[in-house]
């Protein structure tokens, strides 16, 4: 190779070389020299099972957009959320912190004190927008130039409800009615449609300046009632009702209480099939929405300068172990899909089995866009894994749900997984759980009572409880006048009062 060609090759591939340096030193260097700024397209869903993607082998998942994203980027197959609950998980992702370190048990607290990746990019010249489900209270004024929920109740009410329309209930009262049915409102009346339209319009308006967009959809979260177009795509006859992991042998009594309390033990096979059809129909609608957004990125010529990230806040049990919903530490609930794409920087069609926590997204975004991660963030950048320097990321991943309530009791619940053994600490009211993924990948047998694991279980629970008590001091509040803060509170109250009609 000629000397000139060699130099040109280095210049052309500066991004890859920079990532290699970052991974080696574990410290971002972009801030020391100006580099092109990447856009960030942060795609998010609610309650997406970790393996419910066609490319991952799920024959029921109609996900061509996510399949293509995985083929053109990198998938992190062992990613765990920090809390299997919507608001808790989303706040952890946005602030890069564990739930107990945010100071928000039972969804209470002032969350504006922590610096988010959105706030940091916004302060450095990015135009920031969130379209769709946010669920991080008291933060939208700090993080976003534009925030639009996508729930257009007036538009939805303009569609007359047929007399024979099926009403689908949320899982909390699913025993009262259907858990899956086609929706009478057409696609353009759903929030996914308006979120997609706003996202694309924002990209077009700001195509010549760096931007961060969170395109955040409600599905496949219940109610499992997609537009009929997507309902009809899914064939319920193909579903296996007796899923791997349905057994609760030697497991915890709290699950039986949850099943009885939710009425899940009354579900007929037909009702389960309809619920699954609605779930996968919701997922197909989400994927079709993302497909249009990703196509717009290409049409605007922004593919090579846009970091695309897809993640969900938590999973969905979907009948596994007899459970529906989330709030438990089985993989279907606590593990999430995570895909990243940036041509020339992130390798194509690569899967990583490294243990990852959702809070690791925060420092990864900042490393790639060229900004130093603040000390408040507890995540670890994935750049070393992306660059190929390291195929290992964490020794263990942890998740927590201190607000768990079973049989009227508040039960602290903590989880640790080391790639083989999963430990669940259920506090003092329920026995702990231990699952060996090597011999029991579907987590059907709790081996916590076996004598040979007693010391290991005791030691891990002791470490988990000590970890949960670590509570770093809060920083000074983000600068914001009392008038502005009060105004934001009024706006948030107004949004809550305008009930998001999730059951329609």
The ranges assigned to domains in the chain are: 38-395
Structure tokens at 273: 């099939």
CATH annotation of 38-395:
3.40.720.10
DSSP-based three-state secondary structure for 116: coil
Q: What is the DSSP string of 477-501?
A: PPS--HHHHHHHHHHHHHHHHS---
Within its chain, how far is the Cα of 259 from the centroid?
25
Q: What is the pTM of this model?
A: 0.87
Expressed in angstroms, the distance from the first to the final Cα of the chain is: 64
* CA quadruple 202, 368, 312, 52: dihedral sign: positive
- Given a contact cutoff of 8 angstroms between Cβ atoms, the answer to whether 316 and 47 are in contact is yes
pLDDT in tens, the chain (504 residues): 444 444 444 334 444 444 443 443 333 333 443 355 899 999 999 999 999 999 999 999 999 999 999 999 999 999 999 999 988 899 999 999 998 888 755 455 677 888 999 999 999 999 999 999 988 877 888 999 999 987 765 566 678 888 888 888 777 667 777 899 999 999 999 999 999 999 999 999 999 999 999 999 999 999 999 999 999 999 998 888 866 556 666 567 778 888 888 888 888 889 999 999 999 999 999 999 999 999 999 999 999 999 999 999 999 999 988 899 998 999 999 999 999 999 999 999 999 999 999 999 999 999 999 999 999 999 999 999 999 998 999 999 999 987 654 444 556 789 999 999 999 998 887 889 999 999 999 998 899 999 999 999 999 999 999 998 876 656 555 544 334 445 555 554 444 444 444 433
| Cα 228 from Cα 364, distance rounded (Å) | 38
Helix/strand/coil percent split, the chain, to 5: 40, 15, 45
Helix (H, G, I), strand (E, B) or coil at 74: strand
d(CA 274, CA 280): 10
């Amino acid at each position: 190779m000629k000397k000139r060609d060699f130099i040109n090759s280095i210049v052309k591939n500066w991004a890859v070389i920079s990532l290699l340096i970052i991974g080696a030193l574990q410290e971002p260097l972009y801030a020391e020299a100006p580099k092109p700024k990447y856009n960030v397209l942060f795609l998010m869903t609610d309650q997406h099972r970790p393996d419910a993607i066609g490319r991952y082998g799920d024959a029921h998942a109609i996900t061509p957009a996510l399949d293509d994203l995985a083929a053109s980027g990198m998938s992190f197959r062992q990613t765990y959320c920090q809390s299997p609950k919507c608001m808790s998980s989303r706040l952890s992702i946005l602030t890069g912190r564990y739930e107990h370190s945010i100071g928000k048990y039972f969804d209470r607290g002032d969350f504006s004190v922590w610096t988010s990746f959105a706030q940091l990019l916004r302060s450095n010249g990015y135009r920031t927008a969130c379209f769709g489900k946010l669920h991080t209270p008291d933060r939208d004024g700090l993080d976003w130039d534009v925030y639009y929920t996508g729930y257009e109740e007036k538009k939805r009410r303009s569609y007359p409800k047929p007399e024979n329309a099926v009403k689908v209930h949320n899982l909390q009262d699913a025993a009262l009615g259907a858990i899956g049915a086609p929706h009478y409102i057409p696609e353009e009346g759903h929030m996914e449609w308006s979120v997609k339209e706003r996202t694309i319009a924002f990209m077009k308006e700001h195509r010549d300046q760096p931007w961060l967009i969170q395109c955040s959809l409600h599905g496949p979260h219940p109610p499992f009632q997609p537009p009929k177009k997507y309902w009809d795509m899914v064939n319920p006859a193909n579903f296996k009702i007796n899923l791997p992991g349905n057994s609760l042998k030697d497991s915890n009594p709290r699950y039986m209480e949850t099943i009885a309390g939710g009425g899940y033990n009354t579900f007929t096979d037909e009702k389960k099939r309809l619920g699954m059809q609605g779930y996968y129909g919701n997922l197909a609608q989400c994927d079709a929405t993302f497909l249009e957004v990703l196509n717009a990125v290409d049409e605007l010529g922004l593919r090579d300068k846009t970091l695309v990230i897809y993640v969900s806040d938590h999973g969905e049990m979907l009948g596994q172990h007899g459970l529906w919903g989330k709030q438990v530490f089985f993989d279907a609930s606590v593990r999430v899909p995570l895909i990243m794409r940036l041509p020339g920087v992130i390798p194509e069609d690569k899967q990583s089995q490294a243990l990852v926590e959702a809070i690791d997204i925060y420092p990864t975004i900042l490393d790639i866009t060229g900004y130093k991660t603040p000390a408040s963030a507890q995540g670890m950048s994935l750049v070393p894994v992306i660059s190929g320097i390291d195929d290992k990321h964490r020794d263990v991943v942890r998740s927590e749900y201190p607000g768990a309530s079973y049989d009227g009791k508040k039960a602290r619940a903590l989880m640790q997984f080391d790639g083989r053994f999963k430990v669940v600490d259920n506090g003092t009211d329920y026995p702990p759980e231990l699952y060996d993924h090597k011999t029991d990948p579907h987590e059907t047998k709790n081996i916590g009572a076996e004598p040979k694991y007693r010391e290991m279980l005791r030691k891990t629970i002791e470490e988990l409880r000590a970890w949960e008590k670590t509570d770093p001091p809060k920083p000074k509040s983000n600068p914001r006048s009392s008038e502005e803060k009060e105004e934001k509170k009024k706006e948030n109250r107004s949004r809550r009062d305008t009930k998001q009609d999730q059951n329609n």
